Structure 1
């Protein structure tokens, strides 16, 4: 299978080339020429087995195809359990059991392993440049930490991530360096995309991307949706509908990929924070990126989601897209209320991002929706202790892997919102 750019200015490209490049040469995002239909309604025994089935069509012509089972075993080494909530048909898909306690661990590990397998011996080190609104950077850092042939430069908006998230970005050292940017995630994302577009820079310093613009992030994330939906369908005979907390739309696009490939997935509803670019657009307004607002659900603080290009590429027009996806904005006051009431109402302690999904579920149930819904729990609540613990009235247990991160010393460097400043950093690295 070949891959094309969402902007149409690139010839069909092999998987390996698109994976290494990250961003297409015309500035667009790589997408498969087609989304193949396969049997994803029959449950596989394990999450790695489902991931292998999902990814196999895309890697059929890749040099990685024989290594796919090993890549999936490494990336999906921890479970993504689908658990019932209090309430008929209510579920939560827990995606926070990896090394940095966030859903981004799965795809970051696949991407790191795949790029490592593709690396030419004795080639210059590749610098992975990543913008993060909270969780991506830590997942990428953990996946590439001490991996030969790679360096990592993490850009994050200073003061706009939780203290524990910041520590998780800064605690790695060795081949990983975190840079705090006095701006928004959108500023960080623009800097990264601009750096990746400079052909002269990439000729002097090999660069790669690990944001959700990368195919290596998009495609693996479809696996946990397919796995959960197949298991639910086998038990109940009913399709599973997903509420996906989202900011940059990568995880939402992955759910759509799984659905289009044949997983027994019903509707998809996007849960957003006060950054309401997506809800406004899907409700009928023209697409208009907004200045980013800082919220409690900071990993979703995105005003100009990159992956909107993929969504619009996959639909004939915006009206068709709006008939397929819905989105709801949830403000901070409501997030606090949901976190405070979630233990009694749903039986879980929720992070601020998961809380946006729970609010959407509550609104759907209030409107008479009786379908089976799963909230995607994107991060462990212990990463947001300063927000969650005062609301639930007790300490939240810290997972062992997160505790190990917090025990290490942390350091970062300042970076101006300036293309030349990032260019200098990358050339010096």
Structure 2
């Protein structure tokens, strides 16, 4: 399979180049040159397959002969070695739990798959691969654990000072080995801008073999399609065939992967993009005007993105047909007070604890279903374990959270992070000197 740039459809590269170069020099994003249609037989019988089997079938359709089937199967079996169950909370309301991987966030799917793809391509004696990643919370932890100890790689994580939770910061800054963290005095958008600028800087590219672990990398997007197919498979077992997915959205890679799954044939009735006050996309879906803006800090910090990179992919999927896009994707946004209220409502209604991102998705799903869509099974994505946001919950809710052993193991580990300004020259100097 070849991949093209969203800014230049004539540009074609192979999968390896798309993975390692991450972003074309024209600052577009890579997309598959054609989107394969999965067979009706496979889709109608999804409930007969395990998650790794579904993942292999989908990845093999997208990648073709780029990676031999046996090697691809081994990569998936190693990377996707945890579950993604749907939990029924009430009739036609399900939560898709995506926090059962090592970093307790949905980004384990992308980070683990990508790190193993890169390791498979790397040959002994090749130049070290420098992986740059900007994070608003969960990406950094997933990438850190996904790449920890992977030979021939070094990961540099940029995160906004004071804008990630304490547990997220521990996951970013206590690894050592081939993982290093930069604490940027700015927002996530500033961190993302530094990474993007590095990829088009001649001096950095001459000295380093740079790639990105953000969702701009196509190897992050592909594995995120797996859990949409797997969720639908679980619904089939309950005789549910009409489904809407409600996705808490920041950089829009997650819902972008869902839309890619839809393009491959997954029968989804509706996608709901749920955001916090960083409502660039919901505003666009209502007004038709796309206006990126500076991000603002909220309780749902992983969604604090004012200019979502992956929107370019979504627009490309629909060939900029705004009306067709608005039929399939609707948007809702909520403030912090509404988020806290939703957390409390979920707990009181179901005795179930959700993180602030997940709470926003639940609220949007319920609002959408109330608008004459009660006949559709709604699945809202739980993108992170609630234990990662201890300061958000009142005591009654906090006491109901089971803290995994992986989090307890982080306690007392020393923070290793280098403070930086949001100035590119300072970041570039750090890279060149280290």
- TM-score in terms of structure 2 length: 0.95
Q: Secondary structure at the match of 1:78?
A: coil
In structure 2, the partner of 1:394 is 399
C-alpha displacement of 1:83: 1.0
Are residues 257 and 347 of structure 1, via their aligned partners in 2, closer, same or farther at CA, if it must alter by over 3 Å?
farther
C-alpha displacement of 1:390: 3.5
**Is residue 82–residue 228 contact of structure 1 (8 Å, CA) maintained in 2?**
yes
Is 1:252 matched with 2:255? yes
Deviations 1:47-94 (A, max 9, x none): 111111111022213145441101111111000001101x21110000
Size of the aligned set, in residue pairs, is 428
User: What is the distance in 1 between the residues matched to 2:295 and 2:260?
Assistant: 27
Are residues 176 and 393 of structure 1, via their aligned partners in 2, closer, same or farther at CA, if it must alter by over 3 Å?
closer
**Is residue 272–residue 365 contact of structure 2 (8 Å, CA) maintained in 1?**
no
C-alpha displacement of 1:32: 0.5
Pairing partner for 2:204 from 198, 201, 219: 201
C-alpha displacement of 1:23: 0.7
Is 1:31 matched with 2:35? no
In structure 1, the partner of 2:364 is 360
Is 1:19 matched with 2:23? no
**Is residue 340–residue 391 contact of structure 1 (8 Å, CA) maintained in 2?**
no
User: What is the distance in 1 between the residues matched to 2:10 and 2:140?
Assistant: 29
User: What is the distance in 2 between the residues matched to 1:263 and 1:402?
Assistant: 35
Q: Secondary structure at the match of 2:422?
A: coil
Deviations 1:92-131 (A, max 9, x none): 0000001110000111000000000101211221110000
**Is residue 242–residue 269 contact of structure 1 (8 Å, CA) maintained in 2?**
yes
Is 1:123 matched with 2:129? no
User: What is the distance in 1 between the residues matched to 2:370 and 2:395?
Assistant: 27
C-alpha displacement of 1:9: 6.2
C-alpha displacement of 1:365: 3.5
Deviations 1:174-233 (A, max 9, x none): 111111111110000010011012243222111110000001100110001011112312
Pairing partner for 2:110 from 107, 112, 116: 107
Q: Secondary structure at the match of 2:380?
A: strand
Higher mean C-alpha deviation, range 259-268 or range 59-68: 59-68
The CA RMSD measured in Å over matched residues stands at 1.5
Higher mean C-alpha deviation, range 257-266 or range 96-105: 257-266
Deviations 1:255-278 (A, max 9, x none): 111111112322110110011101
C-alpha displacement of 1:319: 2.5
C-alpha displacement of 1:318: 2.1
C-alpha displacement of 1:167: 1.2
In structure 2, the partner of 1:3 is 3
In structure 1, the partner of 2:180 is 177
C-alpha displacement of 1:422: 1.6
Deviations 1:338-396 (A, max 9, x none): 11121221341000000001111221243332110001000000000111243625252
User: What is the distance in 2 between the residues matched to 1:237 and 1:90?
Assistant: 11
**Is residue 246–residue 272 contact of structure 1 (8 Å, CA) maintained in 2?**
yes
**Is residue 269–residue 328 contact of structure 2 (8 Å, CA) maintained in 1?**
no
**Mapping of residues 4-403 of structure 1, within 5 Å:** 4-8=4-8, 11-38=11-38, 39-43=42-46, 44-63=48-67, 65-85=69-89, 87-316=90-319, 317-370=321-374, 371-390=376-395, 392=397, 394=399, 396-403=401-408
Deviations 1:142-191 (A, max 9, x none): 01111111111000110111111111111111111111111110000010
User: What is the distance in 1 between the residues matched to 2:93 and 2:351?
Assistant: 11
Unaligned segments of structure 2, at least 5 residues: none
User: What is the distance in 2 between the residues matched to 1:208 and 1:263?
Assistant: 30
**Is residue 171–residue 406 contact of structure 1 (8 Å, CA) maintained in 2?**
no
Unaligned segments of structure 1, at least 5 residues: none
User: What is the distance in 1 between the residues matched to 2:70 and 2:205?
Assistant: 29
Higher mean C-alpha deviation, range 380-389 or range 7-16: 7-16
User: What is the distance in 2 between the residues matched to 1:384 and 1:116?
Assistant: 32
Q: Secondary structure at the match of 2:426?
A: helix
**Is residue 64–residue 114 contact of structure 1 (8 Å, CA) maintained in 2?**
no
Q: Secondary structure at the match of 2:132?
A: strand
**Is residue 230–residue 264 contact of structure 1 (8 Å, CA) maintained in 2?**
no
C-alpha displacement of 1:407: 5.0
**Is residue 385–residue 396 contact of structure 1 (8 Å, CA) maintained in 2?**
no
Higher mean C-alpha deviation, range 381-390 or range 349-358: 381-390
**Is residue 277–residue 303 contact of structure 1 (8 Å, CA) maintained in 2?**
yes
In structure 2, the partner of 1:423 is 428
**Is residue 144–residue 172 contact of structure 2 (8 Å, CA) maintained in 1?**
yes
